[in-house]
Amino acid sequence: MNIIQNKTRPIFPFTAIVGQEEMKLALILNVIDPKIGGVMIMGDRGTGKSTTIRAIADLLPEIEVVSEDMFNSHVSDYDLMSDSIKQKVANSLNISTEFIKVPMIDLPLGATEDRLCGTIDIEKALNEGIKTFEPGLLAKANRGILYVDEVNLLDDHLVDILLDSAASGWNTVEREGISVRHPARFVLVGSGNPEEGELRPQLLDRFGMHAEIRTVKDPSLRVKIVEQRTKFDQDPYSCLEEFQNEQKKLKDRIILAQQHLNHVTIDYDLKVKISRICGILDVDGLRGDIVTNRAAKAFAAYQNKDEVDVIDIKQVITLCLRHRLRKDPLDTIDSGAKVSQVVNEVLC
């Protein structure tokens, strides 16, 4: 009788992914600073969108959570703590913790609002006076990554809920006057194929970044990608071992950047130039300005710098602004040429 080893299913190493630098950078920056607001990845089928997203989640260090807590509550950060844990802290009760992998939650296309937000057992609440909450995907995604494949095919109402939770960091469920609120701080990653339609401009604007990926045309690069994937499929554990050092280096670099982020500064003149670029490009609202400032600081922290410079802004600004230029739902998203032209004029 064969004994199946209790091993987790191996994930393709992030550092083994060839090309798609724009997508990889957007994911890394959102992991360094989740307040950037997530990333929308649009590109051809079969370009490794799902593989890359799962790989970044697998790369991240484990997080400490309160044991047997359905919301992955933080033991000391109030913004990442459920009400029941806050009460225990207030009453000085003993709280046990454990380390888990960063949650990576998939939202299926056919998901309902209850599946996403969670449900309250009204009958139990009315008859027994007990508030029973069945957590949804937003609860499970707290302090992790929530991935929506084909987000452009998702019901607009669910997209609104997702984006509201991602922006506020909280999810509130109300039924018959009974309310449950819990932390829902996650990196929202959406992906889709432009051929199947774009998101409405109003919804697209709510994503912090927009990365475009295309099928690799260079034959030698295509061969390299195929060989890398074949090697992993044949012997995943030796492939993981091969990239072990690179994975550790990148993980350490991300942790360092997360710790260093609050110490990074951006000069007032550069902030003015970012806002000037947004003004020239006729970007609606101030999300573009805010996200570009955040992303530039995250990139500077990733480079282990104390201050943002022009190079940092140039590296991230197209990712932050290109999807905010589309006013008409029938227009296509700018490839970045328009943003680059204005950036080169202002940040010369």
Pick from 347, 286, 290, 285: nearest CA to 315: 347
Pick from 45, 71, 68, 41: nearest CA to 56: 41
Angle of CA points 44, 46, 48, to nearest 5°: 100
Sign of CA dihedral 92, 97, 102, 108: negative
- Nearest-angstrom CA–CA distance, 18 and 23: 11
Instruction: Count Cβ atoms within 10 A of the Cβ of residue 226 and give its class: 0-12 exposed, 13-18 middle, 19 or more buried.
Output: exposed
* Residues linked to residue 179 through DSSP beta bridges, in sequence order: 174
Angle of CA points 318, 321, 326, to nearest 5°: 120
Residues designated as active site: 287
Packing angle, helices 49-59 and 244-260, rounded to 10: 70
Question: Are 25 and 209 in contact, with CB atoms under 8 Å apart?
Answer: no
Q: Which two tokens stand for residue 176?
A: 């018959």
- Nearest-angstrom CA–CA distance, 265 and 268: 9
- Nearest-angstrom CA–CA distance, 330 and 323: 13
